[in-house]
Amino acid sequence: MREVVKSKRSWLFGLLPALALCWLLFCLPGGVFAADLPVSITEAKITGKDAVTVTATAPAGLSSDDGCVHLLAQDVGETRSRGTEVGKAAVSENLTFSFPLRAGTASYRLSQKFTACVLQGGALVPVSDAHYITNPEALGKTTARIGDGGKKGFLLDPHLLNVTNYLTEAGISQVTYNLPIGDLCDTREGGKIHYTYEGTDYVFNEDIVGQYDLIVPKMNAVGVSVTLILLNNLANPNDLTLIHPLSRDTTEANYYAFSTQGAAAVKKLAAIASFLGSRYRGGTHGTVDNWIVGNEANALDWNYINTAGSLEAAASEYGKALRIFYDGIRSHNASARVYACVDHEWAQSDFPGFHFAGKDFLTALASEILAQGNFAYGAAVHPYNVPLYASQTWAMQNLGVCDQTQNSPYITMANIGVFTDFFCQPAMLQEDGEVRSILCSEVGYSSLPYDGYPNDENQQAAALVFGYLQAKNNQYIDGYFNREADAEEEVEQGLALGVLSSEDGKTYTRKLSYDYYKNIDNLAVADDILAACGAYMGGIPVSSLLTPR
């Protein structure tokens, strides 16, 4: 989701950075600085239906008044020696703790973290960083994924939710659609669905749930995989439980950071994740294969949190929410993938302090997650052109907005290999050594000329085909999602990003880009399409621009 008009960033500059910084330094669990501690927790795994095993290493001669190392289970917001002791072991260079998971109870350990402590002067003192469970899928069932193997995707248009022929005719394998969590939890009107999570009753809006109960099976029925984007919108101003405390100084944000502060917020997030993971894992309500947590988490316009410009704090808070959703969803559907999301500003920020460069944000996020237990989250990126009005992807490098290095200002489909190369670095790999799943989850090219950019249906079609072929020839990209239809509000501002157009929201016309997207995998016509695209590109062969990975 990108802005089409100048963003309302003015309200960001009127915030209270000094107050926010004080809150970060003194109130955020653990603060924003890490200390070197002698004990290293190497693993926290579910090892049975109701069992957890934590292993750790300690230096020889570790001092403890009682000769033991004590393991504490802590809620997300608990630090230092706060928490509940779940095990102890005699001081040794290799430590093992085993204890119950307590699924179904108020003391469920799934979203808790574990810290090793020793007794010194009669008080427990932390001697390790905290570590979370990293294999929630051990509790889930393996669900057959829908549409795997095909990368061709659409961002579903809300007016076309009941229409599947545009998808099937174009050979679409995947779709994305938004799920506003604020609306899900706003039960002031409409029916209610009750869901009990670890002894607490949660209520969700039956009308909102009902929409997805129809959409997901409908897509699955025609072999189309569904990715839902979890957005934290402010629907009920009287309920700020899920709005992060550092996000509550404005009501003008598009979306807000999920709150991971306080037991009520953490448990509600976990309950939402559990509810969604269990409901959409196959059967009557269909299967959601992928979940994207938030929208462009590095951009405050779309994931608002006032951390006084602290990249580490913003990444830390997002990482906690990402882990909670990952745990809750994967504990029911072991086949589901959960993604972090960034925009196309890569090695720079257009608005320093209020927007973080994507590379810096993902680096800080990975560092936070690795320190507390690596898990297999994926990465979703929005590699739009710069500016949005320029459809000529092949000209992006000539315009100086992107290049083939990690110092590239932006990521577009012209240099998408830079993004996947970043995730091939050892520090960015999953715990199993594999490269994370990557989605180009939002792209679009305008067919309208605007502000000197010579866009038309030919240029749009060439850009769409070029971007798709970049994704198809990159083994690390699992999906490429273009706008299905023009959005009326964007057309009014000079952008027509869909492959379908409509003047009334009822009758749709296929653009040239639709036909090209539909047929690009058809060997009988693909050569003709590529030749035409090359002509639209000023005679540049498409193949010469591809950067396979």
Q: Is the pLDDT of residue 423 over 90?
A: yes
C-beta atoms surrounding 528 within 10 Å: 12
CA distance 385 to 394: 10
Alpha helices per DSSP H over 6-154 = 17-27
Other CB atoms closer than 10 Å to residue 82's CB: what's the count? 14
Report the C-alpha gap between 324 and 135 in whole angstroms.
12
Could you tell me where the beta strands, DSSP code E, fall in 386-514?
A: 438-443, 477-483, 500-501, 509-510
Q: Whole-number mean pLDDT of the chain?
A: 91
pLDDT tens, position by position, 6-47 = 333 433 434 444 444 444 443 444 433 345 899 999 999 999
377: left (phi over 0), alpha (psi -120 to 50) or beta: beta
d(CA 443, CA 61): 57
Encode 245-268: b = buried (16+ Cβ within 10 Å), e = exposed.
bbbebeeebbbbbbbbbeeebbbb
Q: Over the stretch 61-93, which tens digit does the pLDDT of each residue have? A: 899 999 999 999 999 988 888 999 999 999 999
Task: Tell me which residue of 548, 510, 518 sits closest to 404, measured CA to CA.
Answer: 548
Q: Who has greater pLDDT, 23 or 290? A: 290
Show the tokens assigned to 199. Answer: 């002894």
The 10 Å Cβ neighbour count of residue 285 is 17
Nearest CA-CA partner of 416 in 315, 279, 546: 546
SS3 393: helix
| Residues 190-241 pLDDT 10s | 899 999 999 999 999 999 999 999 999 999 999 999 999 999 999 999 999 9
Q: Assess if CATH 3.30.365.10 describes domain 10-25+146-545.
A: no
Q: Start-end ranges of CATH 3.20.20.80 in the chain?
A: 10-25+146-545
Q: Distance between CA 521 and CA 510 in Å, rounded? A: 18
Query: Cα separations (Å) of 539 from 19, 303, 527, 545?
Result: 57, 41, 15, 12
Residues of the chain with CATH 2.60.40: 35-128
CA distances from 360 to 364, 406, 449 (A): 6, 11, 34
Model confidence at 153: pLDDT above 70: yes
The reported pTM is 0.92
Q: What is the pLDDT of residues 345-403, one digit of tens each?
A: 999 988 877 899 999 999 999 999 999 999 999 999 999 999 999 999 998 888 889 99
Q: For the residues 498-521, what does the mean pLDDT come to?
A: 93
Does the domain at residues 35-128 carry the CATH identifier 2.60.40? Answer: yes
